[in-house]
Amino acid sequence: MFTQSKEFTKESTHDVLVIGLLKNKELDAGGAALDQLIHNQLTELKKKQLLSSDKGELRSFYTFNQAQTPTIYTIGLGDKKDLDAEVIRELVGKVGKKLKEDRVGHAAVSLDAFVTDEISLQEVAFLFGEGLELGTYEVVDYKDKSNKPDKKVEAVTFYTESNEQVVASAEEGKAYGEGTNYARTLVNTPANLLTPTDLAEEALKLSQRYDFKLEVLEEEDMKRLGMGALLAVTAGSDQPAKMIILTYQGTDKWENAIGLVGKGMTFDAGGVSLKPAAGMHEMKMDMGGAGAVLGAMETIGQLKPAVNVVAVIPSAENMINGSALKPGDVVRTMTGKTIEIRNTDAEGRLILADGVAYARQLGVDYLVDVATLTGAVIVALGDYTTGAISNNDSWMQKVNEASEAAGEWIWRLPNHKPYKKMLQTSNVADLNNSPGRAGGSITAGLFIGEFVENTPWVHLDIAGTAWQDKPTINGPAGATGVMARTLTKLVTSHAK
């Protein structure tokens, strides 16, 4: 898909050439070459302020047969001192949307204007590979497609004066984008088309594509292993639960393994503690944690880092029938700990209790769980930042660094002892699954922490960040695929 060239000429044949404009700076080599071909019209348009270098200002115009590339996009980069990875991601996302709207097949980008002292040429190429993939993503719908031709960017040529190779970096960025888009597609899929069984089928496809080891535990296996929390949640549904395990071994010896555990609640009606009808249709997104983990595994399969990873996805529906879990019930987890159910809509922490416990049993040395867990995290952090809980400062720092590199914000919440004591307020069981509204996202995370023991662990609550009601720079409304890139960055940074 990606190629690299040194010089843009009259014979350079693309549908579009993208040029970045910095404030108070000359055109880069690609822009200057084009300007010469079209008789300095770029310079004239800049003088007349018909082209803007203000950050995010996107303009397009034609070359009128002065070059084989008929269309030019200019994107304002603003002041060079303000240009960072986050800004470039936004700008590339905007370019990607425009390419999608114009149904461009072959684009070219003059890269040098995007490079700064802090952002290398390879990093810029990575961001373009990632951002073009994210920015051109479309939500799959089920409408009549007869009048909607499908076209996407199939080829990108990078122009740069440097001899440094950038294609590999762009391909790596594209892999990150593809993993995120895969997560988005899973989360956007209607719940009748993505049951726990269907989610297991998706894991099977990944295992076949990348030679992962796959294991799927059925309900009989869960009974044998004592996974009473997961079985209690699934009791209200006609769809059988699945415990999905994908294993990637990137080193000769099995050591320093990372466990990625994703909440796979393919639909959440709340159970007997029924959710309000308004907005319930969006609860197909309650498997956003599973989507993030499978999205990360998609990218890991492409990059093949020298590290060992186990993905564990407890998957079920939270529905209502005569066998459904009830408030006041007591369930026993695979660790032997008992839980009093105060709220059946606090089900994600139940299936994750058995999920993280099983991941530990598989021999992981580090754990991260990802879940659309609580509405409380939205109250605390809005829909821009993911909440985090951890039992290990150094592991938390590594997850922080991965999230910063991925451009996905997280914020660590406190785990002081009084919060933990709130979980121990049942008179009939070891734990209370819903001790109240106060500190709700903290106690929910710490509930999962009761089952990780001493394993370094980070919990990521993506209830606010997994879904956006409005389009963003990097994609349409709906699923965001959040944390797929953070998990991948974490894994690749852990590689030998």
- What residues are designated binding site for Mn(2+)? 263, 268, 286, 345, 347
Q: How far is CA 428 from CA 271, 424, 437, in A?
A: 22, 10, 21
CA atoms within 13 Å, Cβ hemisphere of 202:
25
Contact criterion met (CB below 8 Å) for 149 and 17 = no
User: Which residue in 55, 97, 349, 485 is the catalytic one?
Assistant: 349
- Phi, psi torsion values for 205, nearest 5 degrees: -60, -45
What residues are paired with 467 via a beta bridge? Answer: 479
275 is catalytic: yes
> Which strand (E) or helix (H) includes residue 300?
helix 288-303
Which secondary structure element, helix H or strand E, spans residue 447, and what is its range?
helix 440-449
Q: SS3 helix, strand, coil % of the chain, rounded to 5?
A: 40, 20, 40
Task: Note if 349 is an active site residue.
Answer: yes
The answer to whether 380 and 438 have CB atoms below 8 angstroms apart is: no
Token duo for residue 5: 């060239």
Catalytic residue (choose from 275, 337, 342, 420): 275
Q: Are strands 258-262 and 308-318 parallel, antiparallel or unpaired?
A: parallel
Rounded CA separation 108/30 (Å) = 10
Q: Is 462 helix (H, G, I), strand (E, B) or coil?
A: coil
Q: Roughly how many angstroms between the first and final C-alpha of the chain, as a whole number?
A: 29
Q: Which structure tokens are listed for 180? A: 């995120």
Q: What residues act catalytically?
A: 275, 349
